[in-house]
Amino acid sequence: MLVIVAPGQGAQTPGFLSPWLEDPTFAARIDWLSAVAGLDLAHYGTAADEATIRDTQVAQPLLVGSALVTTLQLYPHPADAYRGLGAVSGHSVGEITAAVGARVITAEQAMVLVRERGRAMAQAAAVTPTGMTAVLGGDREEVLAALTQHGLTPANDNGPGQIVAAGTTEQLAAFADAAPKGARLRPLSVAGAFHSVHMAPAVDHVASLARSVSTHDPRTRFISNTDGTVVHDGREVLRRIVGQIARPVRWDLCLETMADIGVTGFLEIPPAGTLTGIAKRFFRDRGMSVETFALSTPDQLDDARAFCERHGEPSTMESSPTWRMVVSPAKGVFHRSEEAADADVLGAGVTIGDVASLRDRIAVTAAHGGQVVEWLVEDGDPVAPGQPLLRLYPEVVPA
């Protein structure tokens, strides 16, 4: 089972695009996305200094643009990816990259969205002095309690022993003066309190633009930062990406879902390393044998392609497009709703049942509705994230 992930803001380093731009095809594609974003991505990825590419308005388009073009080097024919890719996910702004990889939105739509996302978040950060601090180690419950006590948000929950706090500079200073036992604090060089209520104005701006974005349903499992569930409706993917601007990133739950679906290969696209390190610790602590690959330079491409071939397997969505397939959002036990149990036709948005996991019960809806072709699970069956539950045939509207 192959999972490909895209990193978030902070992964960029000065000059990281230089070796990639030696390929004229890569350079031409970067020029095209630069034109869409209105930024010279080649310049920022090769000649700009650390302070410049740390700017939110530069960092986010640079990360998404470079990741999109690098993925095309990995899969020159995007359709090839769907025949072997088990899931995609991205950390924070990396979700926009993942959405393109799942075919929810186009690369051009992604660049417009990330340009506006970066601008709006930078403007929101300028309103109040805010920041973020990584909390490494310490007892998880004690750390979370201390964050609540100081009015801080656990903006990034990256897995065991790594939580990023977000809030005002005063709140962060007070927290630092009374750090939880055993925890090490590392202030981050970011412009503001991302993934917290301080970013609400940015959500409003990007949401207004997203209403005009056309979407497709994912062609592979899309694992959401919101809660680690698999989302199979394109509009819902976009809605979550927008809302995530002011909502914590639950990367720990994304990793749990990867474990649930049986990942064997975890590949991070450039600028890679951060998510690979987190994944290694997570899967090691779980006692899982998961091979990881941090793709950083073009001389690794042949090995990366071999890695994808080794861990790839046929997708359940390749022969069954998601517009007529309802899939499970999480691991658990499926319970069919009375309304759907005996129905021959289901309306759009009808709840077909829920998946009961150890954490909660998650409702499952038939986003587009249609004629029931066949149930692929029975009431009370255990299910995995992204597992097909119900096959529907779209209703034909008479002319």
Query: In this predicted model, what pLDDT tens digit does every residue of 142-184 receive, in sequence order?
Result: 999 999 999 999 999 998 889 999 999 999 999 999 999 999 9
Cα 57 from Cα 155, distance rounded (Å): 20
Class of domain 324-393: mainly beta
pLDDT at 360: 87
Nearest alpha carbon to residue 16 among 274, 191, 190? 274
What mean pLDDT is predicted for residues 199-207? Answer: 96
What mean pLDDT is predicted for residues 228-247? Answer: 95
Asked whether the beta carbons of 33 and 111 are under 8 A apart, the reply is yes
Question: Mind listing the pLDDT tens digit for each residue in 324-374?
Answer: 789 999 999 999 999 898 898 999 889 999 999 888 899 999 988 888 988
Q: Residue 73 carries which side chain, given as an amino acid letter?
A: Q
Report pTM: 0.87
pLDDT at 208: 95
Please give the radius of gyration of the chain, using alpha carbons only, rounded to the nearest integer.
Answer: 21
**Residue owning tokens 């500079």:** 169
User: What is the rounded average pLDDT for all residues in the chain?
Assistant: 92
State the catalytic residue, choosing from 195, 198, 205, 311: 195
pLDDT range class, residue 79, cuts 50, 70, 90: low
pLDDT at 342: 86
Question: Mind listing the pLDDT tens digit for each residue in 50-66?
Answer: 999 999 999 999 999 99
What mean pLDDT is predicted for residues 47-51? Answer: 95
Q: By percentage, how much of the chain surpasses pLDDT 70?
A: 95
State the catalytic residue, choosing from 89, 92, 296, 328: 92
Cα 18 from Cα 128, distance rounded (Å): 36
Asked whether the beta carbons of 305 and 267 are under 8 A apart, the reply is no
Q: By percentage, how much of the chain surpasses pLDDT 90?
A: 80
**Furthest CA-CA distance within the chain:** 69
pLDDT at 225: 96
What mean pLDDT is predicted for residues 195-205? Answer: 96
pLDDT at 317: 56
Fold entry, domain 127-187: Alpha-Beta Plaits (3.30.70)
pLDDT at 397: 45
- Angle, CA 303 vertex, CA 258 and CA 314 arms, to 5°: 45
C-alpha distances in Å from residue 52, one per residue of 12, 190, 195, 279, 324: 11, 12, 22, 29, 46
pLDDT at 368: 82
Domain 2-124+197-311 has CATH 3.40.366.10: yes
Question: Mind listing the pLDDT tens digit for each residue in 262-316?
Answer: 999 999 999 999 999 999 999 999 999 999 999 999 999 999 999 999 998 866 5
Nearest alpha carbon to residue 132 among 97, 157, 98? 157
Is residue 92 annotated as a catalytic residue, yes or no?
Answer: yes
**Residue owning tokens 């002319």:** 399
Residue 399 has pLDDT above 50, yes or no: no
Is residue 195 annotated as a catalytic residue, yes or no?
Answer: yes
pLDDT at 82: 66
- Angle, CA 237 vertex, CA 236 and CA 240 arms, to 5°: 85
Domain coordinates in residue numbering, the chain:
2-124+197-311, 127-187, 324-393
265 three-state secondary structure: strand
